[in-house]
Structure 1
């Protein structure tokens, strides 16, 4: 890993660039997360497909932890170890979660995107929190508090493949790593092309801007290269909708680099990109309520820079298995050190009682 990536990764892992890093948990497992305040691990029985797994889960630090091998077995993914890089890579549900041990303590990235997810090395075995399994690896759970048993199952996801595409860009004294998502396997070629065009146009525009900036600044010094990186993570892939967060990082050898993010929610049957109003079914009252709650929380947090007057017309957001996360860019309303301010809302808060997410918007295939 290059020096600038190590530096950036440390900031991302610490949450300085990631921001609030909202964590969502399946309601059925919430009891496991809040019912224990002990610091020593308590064993949890793991079940899947009607059978108990040989691996045990753990209750520690207020969270339910599951080993990588158990996640792999339930998700049906692959788990590989790179001895040279000292990294484990678990691929499932169109994401690859990589856990690096190179600096002594585990650090987590997904498709070169750094979520605020912690991994633990306990008694020689790697564990991740259940919430990360549900959010990124397509595994859901049901908690039995009396029996201290967590029953795991694979989430039914859309029939679509999301793979990283790359762009080769050569600029003197610049370290460039461009990965962006492209979809395949959709029933509609037209929808597939529409989604891929949005994602390709986005990264093309950023590459063009990077090239323009490097010309204006001139060549970088060999010992302090410029840096440009793009990455993504799949946040949702159910009910006919695909949710993604794409991220772009650029550094022109200044005091610090700059990161921007975009949330994308696509209806897979039509290829349409959904707005926040689409997701909340154009409910003006709900939008006003969300706008006020966001404002109250934003103004109460440290580093608020003033200027918030309500949600933007084209508000940044992304969807997760349990709800919608409204977010803002670095410096948009808060100081850089606050990262990306994020405000999660559950579907229960946003939709009429009994309404399924995205009902009426897609064929839900």
Structure 2
């Protein structure tokens, strides 16, 4: 059976099987069906009904010819091919993997739209790695639409919403003047049954070279330590029990915030050493570009002496609310947070505030993945207070 696990409360499919997949490119006019699908051709018209709300799409204020739409969940969807080209990226279709590949400079993302009886989604992998993310997506009349942030996040753009004109604008205005380059880490595990594919970020372009060195040292050290630990585990495990089985070790990252002199990363370590499925570990790392120092939530929320208790109460309410739908356990959270607030080290910044995440099994069964909870600074700080102003 193909390996699969859950990331960010969505099915993370390293290899998509037992699903009908429709991946299209408007230019080719092709609907591709992956092995394992039904014999009949899956047409775009079998997707769930499209929300008729029209979304205008812009790149740096210039209109994209093809309009977008809102998904059933209210997410902004943009035409993948036309929007990517407007960003200055190249768009190709890989007939072998049934993926749409978008490339700009050294950044590459692979998009696969997959469907079941209830939903359409797009699975995106980054920079030649195996790790990725699921977003909303649809195929309508031969055109692939993806959630706006599935295109903005990998290529370093912000998306700004204009409610009055129903317009989403991809822009680099406000983005830090820094370059993040995906780099492959050398494979220290030399055997025939282990595949290693670890992609880590390298920051460049900062005026402060000492700060740049400190950030890069910390990022690389994380993955160096991860690979060293995995090398030891592979040696202890020995060869797989079956010649048809192989081990897999992956690492990847996303830039979740890159503004106001601050950059925030979500790092993912994934390993499969046999068994029913692999396991992943998430790590948030946030830095000041001014001096290269790591930023903790305490640095951002220190003006609120009770922020730990406030976040805990908000989490308890949200976990209880989602216990039936997502399988979250308030009892597990209360036990985890009983004598410690160290779980608040697991955070990253986003355009709206910050996200606190939990590792798989911390507060829910494994099928629930790594639960995430979003907060705005306005929920925890006095009105008008900007916790990032000192980092500009």
1:82 matched to which residue of 2?
94
**Which residue of 210, 222, 226 corresponds with 1:206?**
226
Q: How far is 1:182 from its partner?
A: 1.4
1:245 matched to which residue of 2?
266
Residues 13 and 114 in structure 1, CA contact (< 8 A), matched pair in contact too: no
Q: How far is 1:348 from its partner?
A: 2.2
Distance 2:83 2:359 in 1: 33
Distance 2:284 2:248 in 1: 23
Residues 288 and 294 in structure 2, CA contact (< 8 A), matched pair in contact too: yes
Q: How far is 1:206 from its partner?
A: 1.1
2:16 matched to which residue of 1?
none
Distance 1:275 1:89 in 2: 36
For the pair 1:46 / 2:41, whether they are aligned, the reply is: no
Residues 135 and 320 in structure 1, CA contact (< 8 A), matched pair in contact too: no
Residues 6 and 367 in structure 2, CA contact (< 8 A), matched pair in contact too: no
For these two proteins, the number of residue pairs brought into alignment is: 338
Q: How far is 1:97 from its partner?
A: 3.2
Range moving further from structure 2, 207-216 or 302-311? 302-311
Distance 2:62 2:238 in 1: 62
2:236 matched to which residue of 1?
216
Q: For 1:117, what is the secondary structure of its paired residue?
A: strand
**Which residue of 357, 362, 365 corresponds with 1:335?**
365
For the pair 1:165 / 2:165, whether they are aligned, the reply is: no
Residues 180 and 203 in structure 1, CA contact (< 8 A), matched pair in contact too: yes
Cα separation, partners in 2 of 1:51 and 1:213, compared to 1, 3 Å: closer
Distance 2:174 2:243 in 1: 49
Residues 95 and 233 in structure 1, CA contact (< 8 A), matched pair in contact too: no
Q: How far is 1:74 from its partner?
A: 5.1
Q: For 2:285, what is the secondary structure of its paired residue?
A: strand
Q: How far is 1:299 from its partner?
A: 4.6
Distance 1:280 1:14 in 2: 27
Cα separation, partners in 2 of 1:311 and 1:136, compared to 1, 3 Å: farther
Distance 1:13 1:318 in 2: 13
Query: TM-score with structure 1 length normalisation?
Result: 0.81
Q: Which structure 1 residue ranges, 5 or more long, are not aligned? A: 19-36
1:129 matched to which residue of 2?
147
Superposed CA offset, 1:197-247 (max 9, x none): 111111111111111111211112321111111111111111111111110
Q: How far is 1:156 from its partner?
A: 2.5
1:24 matched to which residue of 2?
none
**Which residue of 97, 102, 107 corresponds with 2:123?**
107
Distance 1:334 1:183 in 2: 35
For the pair 1:271 / 2:266, whether they are aligned, the reply is: no
Distance 1:293 1:50 in 2: 38
Cα separation, partners in 2 of 1:244 and 1:148, compared to 1, 3 Å: closer
Query: TM-score with structure 2 length normalisation?
Result: 0.76
Cα separation, partners in 2 of 1:299 and 1:213, compared to 1, 3 Å: farther
Cα separation, partners in 2 of 1:120 and 1:95, compared to 1, 3 Å: farther
1:68 matched to which residue of 2?
80
Residues 322 and 346 in structure 1, CA contact (< 8 A), matched pair in contact too: yes
Superposed CA offset, 1:99-154 (max 9, x none): 03599974323344322312222211121123445555413233345x54445544
Structure 1's consecutive aligned runs of 4 or more residues displaced over 6 angstroms after TM superposition are: 102-105
